[in-house]
């Protein structure tokens, strides 16, 4: 058994010892959802003041409005009653450090973990790789505010998203913990 697996199972045993949340309802109590990045430095429960059962938190690389993220938001609304959504990207995001081409080239070289330094990304593996990465849009980010705006617009324009749901756009600052509004995104996400 790995060290990490042991640590996770021990933490779970400790959590179970004091667990008292078994009666929480399935719908989120505060009726909102957050789409944000999977970055380990982000703790949506802390930066948004959440307790278990308060809100849906949907996470992926970059907090992007991928088809799967929109699927989750639609389920959150249609079946579980959320009424407001947040798109929250963050400063110093790894999705700003590469392009679709860089990712597909790294994967074509090998499937091993790559490294990055001042000169860019480097593959460390001996192969084999796969060219399948060139068929994926990795949803990389060139400009943080623009990506928030793009994602809010994509969500609002989706045929399965009702116009009465407001979608707010923010950037979480990893140095200060602040949520900084992207006004153009929040304007684009207004309920109608």
Number of other residues whose CB lies within 10 A of the CB of residue 57: 19
User: Which distant-in-sequence residues (6+ apart) come within 8 Å of 171 by Cβ?
Assistant: 88, 89, 90, 91, 144, 145, 148, 179, 180, 182
User: Which distant-in-sequence residues (6+ apart) come within 8 Å of 69 by Cβ?
Assistant: 35, 58, 60
**pLDDT tens-digit readout, 136-172:** 999 999 999 999 999 999 999 999 999 999 999 999 9
To which residue do tokens 């000169």 refer?
119
Q: What is the CATH number of domain 27-94+139-192?
A: 3.40.1050.10
pLDDT band with cut points at 50, 70 and 90 for residue 131: very high
Q: Residue 124: exposed, middle, or buried by beta-carbon count in 10 A (0-12, 13-18, 19+)?
A: exposed
- In this prediction the pTM is 0.95
Q: What residue ranges do the domains of the chain occupy?
A: 27-94+139-192, 99-137
Mean pLDDT for the stretch of residues 25-34:
97
**pLDDT tens-digit readout, 116-126:** 999 999 998 88
Q: Residue 168: exposed, middle, or buried by beta-carbon count in 10 A (0-12, 13-18, 19+)?
A: buried
pLDDT band with cut points at 50, 70 and 90 for residue 127: confident
């Amino acid at each position: 058994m790995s060290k990490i697996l042991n640590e996770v199972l021990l933490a779970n045993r400790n959590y179970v010892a004091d667990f008292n949340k078994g009666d929480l309802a399935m719908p989120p109590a505060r009726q909102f959802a957050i789409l944000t990045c999977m970055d380990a430095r982000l703790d949506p429960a802390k930066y948004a003041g959440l307790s278990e059962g308060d809100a849906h938190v949907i996470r992926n690389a970059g907090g992007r409005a991928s088809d799967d993220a929109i699927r989750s938001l639609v389920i959150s609304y249609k079946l579980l009653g959320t009424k407001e959504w947040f798109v929250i990207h963050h400063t110093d995001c790894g999705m700003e450090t590469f392009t679709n081409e860089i990712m597909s080239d790294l994967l074509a070289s090998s499937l091993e973990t790559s490294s990055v330094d001042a000169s860019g990304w480097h593959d460390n593996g001996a192969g084999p790789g796969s060219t399948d990465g060139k068929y994926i849009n990795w949803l990389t980010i060139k400009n943080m505010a623009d990506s928030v705006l793009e994602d809010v617009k994509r969500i609002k324009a989706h045929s399965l998203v009702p116009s009465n749901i407001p979608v707010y756009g923010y950037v979480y600052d990893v140095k200060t913990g602040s949520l900084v509004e992207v006004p153009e995104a929040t304007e684009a996400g207004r309920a109608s």
